[in-house]
Structure 1
Amino acid sequence: ADFYGFVIPFVQDLMKLAQESKVPIKVRACDTMGYGFPFPGTALPRGVPEIFYALIHDGGVPSEQLEWHGHNDFHKGLVNGVAAWMYGCAAVNGALLGFGERTGNTPVEAMLIDYISLTGDGDGIDTTAITEMAEYFRREMNFPIPTNYPFVGSEFNSTSAGIHADGMMKNEEIYNIFDTTKILKRPMGVIITDKSGIAGIAHWVNGHLGLDADRKIDKRHPGLAKMNKWVLEQYEQGRTTSISHDELLEKAKKNLPEYFVSDLDRLKKKAALVARHIVEDFVERPEIRTMDPAKQEPVMEKLQKEDPYIQFVYVVNSQGKKITRNITDIENKAKFETAGLGDDFSDRPWFISPMKDGKSFVSDFYTSKITGALCITVSAPISDDESNIVGVFGVDIRFEDLVRAE
């Protein structure tokens, strides 16, 4: 870039325009290829300190109107962002975990830690949210964060020095560069080898599962002994590398199942949330609140077509009597459309619960007697304009189809 032949004259014109219009104009210095250098004395246009010296002193841009947008192509995304701060730039663009084109952008979580380090002021920042953010990426986005990634990697603050876990816990400062428990809610960990012992495995499990106080696993737990036995067998067979996070997690799930939510339980929870959202929104529709089957059934048919994992949709009145047909798909329509019409369902949990507490209800899993599919039933109370419960709206959902749709 022709910095003094084009950039500075252009910026000066922008500042004149800002003065005349009394509208602040921001100037963003973009290093989209990551060529910048953070070191003073580096020639323009690569020297980050020089860029901001020139923009402020020669271009006339106030610090508060300056931004830096850097990339990490040469491993300088973070240091260039900090250099921009140090030399007068008010804001640095970034992304969580450095997400971005090619090699990524400046990692926001790293900038937060550096901001606190440089200023000595937390400024109300809750740094433990960094750990929560990483857990969200892993759990909800299935994003694999490298184990040694700073601040959030599963082993970023783990030692493989071969010390006994009991000794490490007596003087953590020897091995931990900062108080990771206080700042990130991440207790120091140990990398497991044949030297770790049961105490080391217990420390690893408690740390990685976030178990403390009464929930901590005691090193006398028989499941830990089984894990330790497996570890020792690995080294007896000639292993030379440490046990990985994924291997330990697999063994912990097998030998300490009571401390884990199963994949099925997780899917159950997800299915219940989706289904509950459907019925709670739907019972607010004016057509449903009329308790007139002629008005209810057309919108119920539309719902079933939009959400094909729905097996049956139906409405019962406040006495538990089914007043609508079973709204279902073409495959089941001929056989089951009128099944139960006029029957009394007042003894069913999906009817009793909403009538009693006015809340939506989600059943456990069951095999449908009608179709043989694995289902859950979700129901919600229907209220009139005076908030009186006048009926119950029910939906039977094919669990497998719902999981596929999500």
Structure 2
Amino acid sequence: MHTPLVARCLRGLEAVVAAEVLGSGLGAVTELRHREVHFRTHRSVPALRTADDLFLLAARRPDIGPTRQALHNLAELADQTAIDHLLSLRRHSATTPAPDITGIDVSASFLGRRTFTRYDAEDVVGQALARRLRVPYHSRRAGTPPPPGCWGWRLTLDGARATLMLRLDDRPLHRRAYKQRTIPGTLHPPLAAAMARLADIRPGHVVLDPCCGAGTLLIEAALAHPDAHCHGFDLSADAVAAACVNAGDLPVAIRCSDAGRLPLPDHSVDRVLCNPPWGAQVRARGLLATAPSRWWTELRRVLAPDGTAVLLLPDPGHLAAAIRHHFTPVHVERLRLFGAQPFLVRLAPAPGAGRVTATQPRGRATSDRR
């Protein structure tokens, strides 16, 4: 039997999630929509690291439009849902044993201007589902988290149709168990996983994050590629401590250093993954505070001629700076990330450009594992 599933993701990562579904042999992708990848799988526990969350498809109908007069029509989604079959799929597909359902909650989102709120839509669907399931409905209107035992449902309205889904597991996929400590500017784990996937890391590659923060990028890279050599540096002692706790026993070497003067030999790094401190949430410190261009010259120095850098850049100006410093963009994607619209960029050293060198000894970086 092929189970219809919906992976939710950041806007702009739909193709990356679809590639993970296909590359992992999870099943056939049937549709890409706004922040959604629809696919069918014959496997019981599909694990997706680039998706924010994973749902069983429950029901669909045409979007009700922008006015609240049609809100009551959303109750049809609850009526169309094959409740017993869906709950059975959820119990057998979850990665952890599903507790008995003691209540439900609904989280809604929509595109475009509406004369109703997300809470209005949630309440219509939630109350209809609660009647069918004969369990209490927990409204999110008051801002309180749902109590234990509540099964999470998701409602989306994208202008063309309304879709109702049931979360496959008790917690969203983006909540990683390793994330014990956070710091300002810490990266969204599914985005970090997507960046590691775009980097095309191979066995034995040296992977660098020169501004590693809480270590999310390197941890996702190490989880996907345990045979790579991952190095992280940060000037903040708090960031290094957080990254060490989060990394645990993973093969990741994390040290304190200035990204403007990395303790690595020339051309010794195969892959760079980084969300540089451009000032949106974290301001540059050390050498980068007075000479931001040093970030690019140092990146150029340590990256191998056939290397790749996957970066999160806040605006086109930073992409232009990469080109000025002899990098060639080979992939550019605009994302929507918590109100911002950064660029996800894959860069390669421009062929034929002069190489930046320093006094460090030449050769490859060693594994130097913690």
Q: Do the two structures share a fold, i.e. TM-score over 0.5? A: no
TM-score where L is the length of structure 2: 0.27
Q: Which has the higher strand share?
A: 2
Query: Which structure has greater helix proportion?
Result: 1
Using the size of structure 1 for normalisation, the TM-score is: 0.26
Looking at CA atoms only, which structure, 1 or 2, has the larger radius of gyration?
Answer: 1
